Structure 1
């Protein structure tokens, strides 16, 4: 993973150092430009005093320390220790490469830790897909050698599941008798401790051999409600905090009351709520024997839908024409 990425960077730099600088400047970072002088050294598994980052790019007065992650950036202290890899460089950059860019709140925590440590390290938060997009944007169409290199790298990333398909992925979930409940309050809930192994943009509500509703996730919230004090505590897991409106909060709380009164569910604490603008009715029939016992993921582009044209209404209408097993 890191070796292939460093090799990609190296090939582009040795092909044209000015183009390499343009490529780096297109990646998300805290500054608009990156001063690059002449020669750059590419290193793998360089050791620091307290940690071993995945790789590094260095030159006189300039250094980028690279850390690649597959499953997020949970250990902030470990990330900050990578700054020990720097010495007396004038320009210092910590590059985090992931399947997704990290959440802004988490990014703020990293920056705060960098400031607490008294370092002047700049943060570059990017994704493998960003690297591919930026690389393609700086090379010429007629440059067949560079085009083949980035094609090979993209094939590798796809094979290693390093490129997210969440924008076209729907997670179908069995909801049983709560279907109307989900439609009314425009949400789906599950214990916050229950993990899901793939990020996804859409939710499908399944019951009685059909996915009957589809919605686009705009906010994910962990919420607790204390009935005695009527206190509502929440944490936005994904999405913009501004989307947690009074209407959304009321829907969450009412779903808690309704869940207890109608179904006997105790969801006042420790639950995660997936919020959608609305669920659109559909009829996506399961034609194989048996029901859906757990979550199932659907790549919507497998059903005649184009990623760039996806919207909830279009998905709901198209799936009415399809079946699945």
Structure 2
């Protein structure tokens, strides 16, 4: 059965991408206004704006002239965020500058550019200068902020709690949509952490993580094996194989490589051994309709989760940011560098 998508595809790109991004934010707000507020404030932290989402309730607070003190008040600050979505560095300063005329007397005014990659400095400087001149001429306080689609996903992923199952599913589909439209920066430094629990030893020993084929995934280059409040193994992903195996006849009825290089006889042998050992050791039948994520080798590490609770579902990490490296070292060195670092604080 085809997976139901939260976000539409296959239409005029810029309009659909903007609509889908707004739909994501709308879903977040409807699900939890407080998380939406935390998301917006984190996303706009570079422009030093603090947004209060929703009304505030006060009792017996006097007005500015001190002429009267009402019994109570319900107050909501006005806010306007004008969004421009640009693809593939297709940036037009004139169009962005014209958007400044859309602001009036809102308390919080933000001109937000969403782009697949960070704008070049000269572009940012031009917009910042135009915003400054506009503010002087119109006595406004517009702030300009540029973010990437990847930043939206990363910030929201960090804001969501482990038990936010529905929003995590929505975010996963938004991430998949962004991948399908080539909106995310290169994924060479992305690690996908997955909860393993009882299967950790089998995963680590055989260099294979498995999951039902019905469970989708976004492109990534590293697999992190999570168990007992820490990512305890990391491996460089070589390929993903969707397979159906008949243990009695020791025959694959199907084995298709859905990511990476072509499947080899060695790959099939490793998968078959993994299936047999998982059945013997855990009593789990993973022979049918499963994806097998094959790494060269898992290296031991200890990337510690500081926040409460365990890891529910997968979580993505940008190793280039965590390790402060533009290019990735070999996997053994990455494992050493991650050791004793913390996340989820």
TM-score scaled by length of structure 2: 0.48
Cα distance in 2, alignment partners of residues 284 and 159 from structure 1: 22
Contact 2:190–2:220 (8 Å) recurs in 1: yes
Structure 2 counterpart of 1:311, from 327, 330, 333: 330
Cα distance in 2, alignment partners of residues 157 and 176 from structure 1: 32
Partner of 2:240: 220
Partner of 2:264: 245
RMSD: 3.5
TM-score scaled by length of structure 1: 0.51
Structure 2 counterpart of 1:265, from 284, 287, 294: 284
Aligned CA distance change for structure 1 residues 145 and 192 (closer, same or farther; 3 Å): closer
Secondary structure of the structure 2 residue equivalent to 1:190? strand
Aligned CA distance change for structure 1 residues 186 and 303 (closer, same or farther; 3 Å): same
1:158 to partner: Cα distance: 5.5
Superposition pairs of residues 22-101 of structure 1, within 5 angstroms: 54=12
Partner of 2:295: 276
Cα distance in 2, alignment partners of residues 321 and 159 from structure 1: 25
Contact 1:305–1:315 (8 Å) recurs in 2: no
Superposition pairs of residues 110-149 of structure 1, within 5 angstroms: 131-132=88-89
1:179 to partner: Cα distance: 1.6
Contact 1:213–1:281 (8 Å) recurs in 2: yes
Q: Which runs of 4+ in 1 moved over 6 A?
A: 145-149
1:177 to partner: Cα distance: 2.4
Aligned CA distance change for structure 1 residues 299 and 319 (closer, same or farther; 3 Å): same
Contact 1:221–1:235 (8 Å) recurs in 2: yes
Secondary structure of the structure 2 residue equivalent to 1:178? helix
- Unpaired stretches in structure 2, ≥5 consecutive residues: 1-9, 19-85, 91-120, 128-143, 153-177
Residues 183-230 of structure 1 deviation map (CA, whole Å, 9 limit, x = unaligned) = 22111000000123x321111101111111001111000011113433
1:167 to partner: Cα distance: 1.5
Partner of 1:6: none
Aligned CA distance change for structure 1 residues 277 and 159 (closer, same or farther; 3 Å): closer
Cα distance in 2, alignment partners of residues 228 and 240 from structure 1: 28
